[in-house]
Amino acid sequence: MKERAPRKDGPAQRVALFAMMTALAFVLSWIERLFPPISGAVPGIKLGLANVVVLVMLYHRGLGQAFAVALLRVLVMGFVFTNLSTMLYSLAGGLLSLGVMALAKRTGWLGPVGVSVLGGVFHNVGQILLAMLLLRSALLSVYLPALVAVGAGTGMAVGVAAGGALRYLKVLPGPKARKGDAP
């Protein structure tokens, strides 16, 4: 009797992919903690390497799995390396960011880099809004211009990395071949 080929995307493969992507997001967050913040002017600025995984999951598996990876990463990082306050700020930024990225992706107007730039900006906006609410101070909005600029820059870097991963996974088409390029 001829053996059947395994299903390309069965339940076991989906669970394994989800677990690997969640672990990868955790490891990238841990690696990022080993380096000092990008800027001394505004505390806590990081590149957001784990967001590459979240963006890949958003494009490759949809909002539900991207949300689950983002949430699990923040919770595990919070319980292992940080505290409740840091978890709240990460959740505020991460959830607003993911919501904006999902809406931007859905419009189809932007590719992964543009979607990620919005995500980087709104991650910082979400954290500042939470800080303004908790501390009852609108003065924190003075950080927004710097955070928007940094969020756009880090979002661009994350988007380029995620775009490369998505092309490798064949979720996005690769660059068009130019006349004279080798096959």
Q: Is the pLDDT at 179 greater than 70, yes or no?
A: no
**Residue 143 banded pLDDT, cuts 50, 70, 90:** confident
Average pLDDT, rounded, for the chain: 85
Sign of torsion, CA 86 140 128 35? Answer: negative
- Does residue 7 sit within a domain? no
What is the model's pLDDT at position 173? 59
- Does residue 60 sit within a domain? yes
74-83 pLDDT, tens digit each: 999 889 988 8
Euclidean distance between CA atoms 13 and 92, whole angstroms: 31
DSSP string computed for the chain: -PPPPPPTT-HHHHHHHHHHHHHHHHHHHHHHHTS--S-SSSTT----THHHHHHHHHHHT-HHHHHHHHHHHHHHHHHHHS-HHHHHHHHHHHHHHHHHHHHHHHHTSS-HHHHHHHHHHHHHHHHHHHHHHHHT-GGGGGGHHHHHHHHHHHHHHHHHHHHHHHHHTTSS--PPPPTT---
**Of the ranges 37-46, 147-156, 170-179, which one carries the lowest mean pLDDT score?**
170-179
- Does residue 46 sit within a domain? yes
84-132 pLDDT, tens digit each: 888 999 999 999 999 999 999 999 999 999 999 999 999 999 999 999 9
- Helix pair 112-135, 50-60: axis angle to 10 deg: 120
- Does residue 2 sit within a domain? no
Q: Tokens for 56, please give them.
A: 């890949």
- Does residue 8 sit within a domain? no
State which residues form the domain around 136.
14-168
Residue bearing tokens 């993911």: 98
The CATH number that applies at residue 151 is 1.10.1760.20
- Does residue 82 sit within a domain? yes
What is the model's pLDDT at position 178? 43
What's the number of domains the chain is made of? 1
What is the pLDDT averaged over residues 154-160?
95
What is the model's pLDDT at position 177? 40
- Does residue 126 sit within a domain? yes
- Does residue 181 sit within a domain? no
Whole-prediction pTM: 0.84
What is the pLDDT averaged over residues 140-163?
92
What is the model's pLDDT at position 115? 96
